[in-house]
Amino acid sequence: MGALIGLGTGVGLMLIWAAFALPRAPRPEVTAPGALARLLGRAGLGDVTPAGVVTLCALLFAVVFALVQAVSRTVPISFVFAAMAAYAPVLLLQQRATRRLRDFAEVWPEAVDNLASAVRAGMSLPDAVSALGTTGPEALRGDFAQFALDYQVTGRFGECLDRLKDRLADPVGDRVVEGLRLAREVGGGDLGRLLRNLSGFLRDDARTRSELESRQAWTVNGARLAVAAPWIVLLLMSFQTSAIRHYASPGGVIVLGIGFTVCVVAYWAMMRIGRLPVEKRILS
């Protein structure tokens, strides 16, 4: 008996010593995603890495620079169009993200109505959310079908909701997900009424935003055409080597630089003034 007590005391002392003496493994640092990673998430391309986008931009820069240089034989002209081509993937990602969030805004009221109906019919909350993968709006089915698969594999509702939020990357989705999480953890007898009120609010917001976007579409498209017109003319002039070589002189470089800067600032100001308020992801 004494030997057993001594052995237990020795093991306990050794564990206490190991807890303080042995070096601790460093905790992994959680870094916030960069701007390009967040843009890919909003565009629904979370599987694409920012490094891949940067590589594509560099490749487009090199290809367009070589093509324009072969036609115009003017380095400043080639550099300007290569820079525009390099920014094209980022611009396409921004347009895709905007279009994706607009599509989500149109279908979220229907999805919330389906959730409210399922909860009112007596379905469990995980089953109601999973059902949106088959009966929900087409734009959201893929993300909710992946949620259903995650929940079948892990059975952890909270973790599956976190993955769903990351895939959606949508402010409205954040609010819906956090409401479902709260109802799951503390119980929500008023969940059905909350979802119906949220559905009505989302419908009003989507209708108002759609009216504003339709009214400003002609103005925004006209401004974009006005910014692009000089560069289209310059690209056509690139086929006339004798006329375009004047831009290789110091004065031509200054004119190109001023024109490029003015167009960039004017386009930024136009988009800044004409954009509608965008809800931020405060619950991400």
pLDDT tens by residue, 83-119:
999 999 999 998 898 888 888 888 888 888 888 888 8
- Contact by Cβ (8 Å): 119, 191: yes
Mean pLDDT of the chain: 81
Distance CA 37, CA 32 (A): 9
H-type helices in the chain, by residue range? 2-21, 35-42, 50-72, 75-120, 125-135, 138-154, 157-168, 171-186, 191-237, 241-244, 250-274
Q: Which of 83, 59, 258 is nearest to 75 (CA)?
A: 83
Dig out the tokens for 76 from the structure: 């400043």
Average pLDDT over residues 151-176: 87
45 pLDDT exceeds 50?
yes
- Contact by Cβ (8 Å): 256, 247: yes
Q: For the CA atoms of the chain, what is the radius of gyration?
A: 28
**What are the phi and psi torsion angles at 283 (to 5°)?**
-110, 15
